[in-house]
Chain A
């Protein structure tokens, strides 16, 4: 913090909190009561879609600022409405890129200070102190565009710390980071909390790394009501594993089995034949207006193939080039050198070159699920979303519908077939776009971080869908930080700084 004076933690008092977003028949949170004492460290768990993120947004006073709906009950931070005391509550989101507001690190951290009208001459010292407290490795002149996910997350932490929050809310702050970056973010958060005494509420699906650092565990059930509350040792009984909670020591769930016929490709290839491949591909990221970003290439002479009937895991630390390679294989990334093409049987009117396939030819061959699931959403209602590509390709409607409904059921979302896509939780949106990528029966499916935000049960369901897709003869590639997910696939390509790591398993 700016000076060494410890801030005290804030008291959180939630009474009868009910929130029904406009256009949804049922509330996300219904009559929730919760009291958190100053300085308490709370782990907030619950199955995917339970309302964990909604609760954090309510504590930060954000409901009704950009979302509309019926809100009742009260939320108080030290007896005050959170929006009356800007900066009292700091919120970190899953995707650190979503929190970046400026081109330079210093400006980015100062954004909150500007909004609370801190005198300009006091800002540099406050910014510097916040960066130090967040253990941010560079100074304020660093361009925000060059940061890795872990660095960007610590930048977001610094932005929150600059306002001396008494309550720190973290919404899956490490789920999109590799283990090294995740540990650095956790360490930064914990050192801040130790020094300032701030109250901490963490939402995370993988509980283990936080457990020894929290004094209390609050578990929500699927309907957004309190399921359990108390010290972790007492709360986390094995019975919760059935509810989807990642109980430490409960082992990995087995992928749910699913009939491969439901995800079978329309054009099956011989097992082992490359559906889409990259040969010696080099990629330079460009800024808008086509200026090359400084630094090394995002990918340097990398080769990879997604083979029919096989699963490929792309692993490596943040910034290694996993997403870029996946986008190359999906025909969505311009390459500077090398070849990227589909199997001869999937060639389009202008040949096998991925860049020269029409969108329909490309859609028949490969589907791609982006890292940010909302970027993959093209319809407002879940069932329409599932049928969108099949409809565009003129697939038989009955068959598409059957496959869509079966996939929804397999992913635990049958009750959501008529829901609005933007009302889904992050984990639900991710499962939806995974399902939507399979309904039209592509020959290969490329998934970017499909297990983020998944509880135990939905994780098993997602991996079950991957396994069935492989068994059905399609190629599957998964870019992931999730070692357990990578372990479910037979092939692996490890990347580091845009290059394939030689000799990796």
Chain B
């Protein structure tokens, strides 16, 4: 409610896309809490993936090392889901950073450098959502966000740290496999997770939850 009259209700129910209330940077408490909780949840998932990842990674390495890029995208889920859920600048970065911090604190191979990855991955999602002016959160935007998240991680960090020894052709194959899996698994997967939470009624106060409520208005 404000001094200006908003949302003149011509149609009784508003179907379709719901955006975060403007101004975009005025986070509600519930936005912060939701992003933080998502981050913690994904942090645990990331840690589990840290454990599960080693076997298939070894198998793919034996086949052709750059193919391991296919396995990186589960770690990008938090940023995509956080961005699609909260729909405000910074939410993707925050969620991915919280997840990386939780993952590192439980304990993994990479220690605090997990935060470097988390930051870059989150920034990749932010870039795409910003290009769309925080107005697009469908499958296309989600896939591009997952893709950009992978590109930031690989080109911004992994090429120069873990895979500095790769030839450029290998580096590019690694980037491509990571990007494809980022778009599909992190992008579409993140979108499905957000929609699932909305359908379950767990995030009614968030824009995806509101879309779901209005879609099935009673």
Q: Show the binding face of A for B, using Cβ within 8 Å.
A: 16-18, 20, 22-27, 58, 61, 63-68, 70-76, 81, 380-381, 418-420, 422
A-chain residues with CB within 8 Å of residue B217 when the two chains form the complex:
22-25
Q: How far is the CA of A23 from the CA of B2 in the complex (A)?
A: 22
Set B6, B205, B218: member contacting A420, Cβ < 8 A: B218
Given contacts A25-B218, A26-B12, A68-B209, 8 further A-B contacts (CB under 8 A): A22-B14, A22-B213, A23-B217, A66-B29, A66-B205, A71-B7, A72-B5, A420-B218
* Pairs across A and B, CB under 8 Å, 12 listed: A18-B9, A23-B210, A61-B1, A64-B1, A71-B7, A72-B5, A72-B6, A72-B9, A74-B1, A74-B5, A75-B1, A422-B204
- Residue B216 CB within 8 A of the other chain: yes
User: Which 5 A-B residue pairs are closest in the complex by CB-CB distance?
Assistant: A23-B213, A22-B213, A70-B7, A22-B210, A68-B210
Q: How many A-B residue pairs have CB under 8 A?
A: 78
Number of interface residues of B (CB under 8 A): 27
Minimum CB distance partner of B212 in chain A: A23
User: Which residues in B have some Cβ–Cβ distance to A below 8 Å?
Assistant: 1-3, 5-9, 12-14, 18, 21, 28-30, 201, 204-205, 209-210, 212-214, 216-218
Residue of A20, A71, A422 touching B6 (CB-CB under 8 A): A71
Q: Are A70 and B9 in contact (CB under 8 A)?
A: yes
How far is A95 from B204 in the complex, measured between Cα atoms in Å?
23
State whether A380 and B1 are in contact (beta carbons under 8 Å apart), knowing that A70-B7, A72-B8, A418-B218 are contacts in the complex.
no
Min Cβ gap A386→B in Å is 15
Q: Interface SS of chain B: helix, strand, loop or mixed?
A: loop
Cα A480 to Cα B99 with chains together (Å):
46
Contact A65 B204 (CB under 8 A): no
* Neighbour of A23 across the interface among B7, B29, B218, CB < 8 A: B218
Measured CB to CB, the nearest residue on chain B to A68 is B210
Tell me whether A81 and B7 are in contact in the complex, defined as CB-CB below 8 angstroms, given that A68-B204, A68-B205, A418-B218 are known contacts. no
Closest to A71 in B: B1
Taking the closest CB of chain B, its distance from the CB of A34, in whole angstroms, is 14
* Closest beta carbon of chain A to B75's beta carbon, Å: 31
- A372 CB, nearest partner CB in chain B, Å: 18
Q: How far is the CB of B40 from chain A (nearest CB, A)?
A: 19
Residues of B within 8 A of A63 (CB): 1
List chain A residues, Cβ under 8 A from B9.
Answer: 18, 20, 27, 70, 72
State whether B3 touches A380 (Cβ < 8 A).
Answer: no
CA distance A70 to B11 in the complex (A): 11
